[in-house]
Amino acid sequence: MNLVEDLVAAYRILAEHGVIDAYGHVSARSPSDPKRYLLARSIAPELVTPDDIMEYDLDSEPVDPRGRESVRERFIHGEIFKARPDVNAVVHNHSPSVVPFSVTTVAMKPIFHMAAFVGKGVPNFEIRKAQKGTDLLVKTPYLGQALAKTLGKSPAALMRGHGSVTVGETLPRAVGRSIYLEMSARMQLQAMAIAGPRGKIACLDEAEVKASVPAQDYNRAWPMWRAKALAGLKQR
């Protein structure tokens, strides 16, 4: 497995699925040094190539910047990798159907088996509790730590008025969770519209969540997503 190539593919996959716009990013922990991670320089996701992938320590200092500009919200990645030794990939995105759940009291529910992980809990990061008057960006180690604390042991966290973060033990899992979190949010909005204010929505129950989450690694989708994404890269 070539991790740099996988990461380039991940950027393109997330852009293609409308999960990251010009500003989202995805990282992977270095397989040779768990105290380092890989993340693209500040560039639109669909333009990422292997030369754009930079290495960082867990304080989010670039190891060999060579004039490349770092993304300001890199602390999201470094601080989550520090707090969660089980996590090897992190996606931060502004996926549009998820944001409304971050600004209301309506919780995201596990309504779709492909996003059963929602049933493990998706806490909402209120940046104001950590610091007032920010531009909502997690651009300091302190804010990264506050976000990692809100995330806790969960597979994803919303970020109020901003977006969300999803994590996984593998890159395919973090990428798949981002794609299916967006889909699940859209489906929940649809279910709520169909059900009406007094209607009931049947969610996955605790036993179903427990049975579904370990199996849901998105490994069947990953080779297809990856091949399509890298074919686009070779055409350039």
User: What is the spatial distance between Cα 96 and Cα 156, in angstroms, rounded to a whole number?
Assistant: 15
Q: Which residue carries 């990428």 as its tokens?
A: 175
What does the alpha-carbon distance between residue 117 and residue 54 come to, in Å, rounded to a whole number?
30
- Give backbone dihedrals phi and psi of 53, rounded to 5 degrees, phi first: -80, 125
Contact present, 121 and 206 (Cβ < 8 Å): no
Q: Which of 126, 91, 122 is nearest to 203 (CA)?
A: 122
Alpha-carbon distances of 205 from 23, 43, 110, 124, rounded to whole Å:
35, 41, 8, 21
Distance, CA of 49 to CA of 7 (rounded, Å): 9
According to DSSP, residue 30 is labeled -
- Four-CA torsion 178, 110, 189, 228, nearest 10 degrees: 30
* Catalytic pick among 16, 69, 73, 208: 73
Query: What does the DSSP 8-state code read for residue 199?
Result: -
Residue 117 neighbours by CB distance under 10 Å: 24
Q: Is 73 a catalytic residue?
A: yes
Please identify every residue annotated as catalytic.
73
